[in-house]
Amino acid sequence: MHALIAVLAGDGIGAEVTAEAVRALGAVGKRFGHDFRFESALLGGAAIDATGEALPQATLALCRRADAVLMGAVGGPKWSDPNAEVRPEQGLLQLRKALGLFANLRPVAPHPAVLGASPIKAELLRGVDIMVVRELTGGIYFGAKHRTATEASDLCSYTAAEIERVVRLAARLARGRRKKLTSIDKANVMETSRLWRLVVERVMSAEYPDVSYEHMLVDAAAMHLIRKPRDFDVIVTENMFGDILTDEASMLAGSLGMLPSASLGESARGGLYEPIHGSAPDIAGRGIANPYATILSAALLLRHSLSLEAEARAVETAVSKAVDCGALPADIAAAGSAAISTRAAGDAVLAAL
């Protein structure tokens, strides 16, 4: 297979962790006989500094040509002025919209070897395997915004079509797993959630009768994720709820540094793959960031955009073996034990491959 992969390192630790994912993809290409080409471009704060734009046109053009996009992280205190006209996060939101990426997949499956890194009791974590599907293009993040010195507003809006497409994607995933879908909303107070709930019921009843589904209010879901995480199979929810709940769910895995994500549209080609963590400017340049979430995002890239299931599994197995062998970066290493560097973690994955 010949494939062009756009690499958007972004800001902070983004360059360090994407470098290890690119190394892993290169090793996969050699082992399985694929020709992966990598082209880099600017996004976020680095792009603002260089061009004045968070998403330069050259970056967007590359992403549209590419078979998939691998991203690091964007943002940092350097660009955090609330009055700034251009912010790093705007570039990511614009890119998702321009590429038609409406569903963000975030798998959560704690590794048995690092259960101790989680603040949650280990007995609650064994057997947890959750897929969160977050809607990406609607909701309060994209609604009309208004602010004066004394008031502010953000409009939350959804259309039935936006809800339908993300629910169908989540239902298809559930059909290939344990056939259980949990839809999370706030239908007791929000009209968008009431529409969400009605659409879920219509789509699931008419199109996915073999998949069981339930509704859950977001506040109850936040509690349930900690109390009984094994109860969940596939979760589908709107943009802001999904953003918050997946950060909470990262604590099940012990660290944000262990969780990958995939942002997909109607076509798998051109998906965007990134770790769910931020740019961590406090540790940038020190070579201690955990690259596993980014490497696992590369595995999702192989699976969803390139349809290379065996290759994706090889990367996931390699990460698992590296962790089993004790190759633990600082965020998941036990207190008092030696932590390995970003590069050493990448080396461990390549050795396992």
Q: Catalytic site residues?
A: 141, 186, 219, 243, 247
Q: Residue 158 half-sphere exposure, CB side, CA atoms within 13 Å?
A: 27
| Residue 52 CB coordination number (10 Å) | 10
- What is the C-alpha separation between 74 and 172, in angstroms, rounded? 31
- In sequence order, which residues have a C-beta less than 8 Å from that of residue 128 and are 6 or more positions away? 108, 109, 110, 229, 230, 252
Cβ atoms of residues 309 and 327 within 8 Å: no
CA–CA distances in Å: residue 171 to residues 128, 180, 211, 216, 343: 19, 8, 7, 16, 38
Amino acid (one-letter) located at 281: P
Nearest to 134 by CA among 236, 218, 251: 236
Both structure tokens of 54: 């968070």
What letter represents residue 65's amino acid? R
Taking Cα atoms as reference points, which of 175, 231, 222, 166 lies closest to residue 196? 166
How many C-beta atoms surround the C-beta of residue 155 within 10 A? 12
Q: In the chain, how many H helices and how many E strands? A: 12, 12
Check: CB of residue 68 under 8 Å from CB of residue 5: yes
> Position 234: which residue type?
V
Q: Which two tokens stand for residue 81?
A: 């002025």
Q: What pairs with residue 237 in β-bridges?
A: 134, 184
**How many Cβ atoms are within 10 Å of 219's Cβ, its own excluded?**
12
Could you tell me which residues are beta bridge partners of residue 105? 133, 262
Question: Contact 258/295 with Cβ under 8 angstroms?
Answer: no
* Closest by CA position to 196, among listed 228, 155, 241, 227: 241
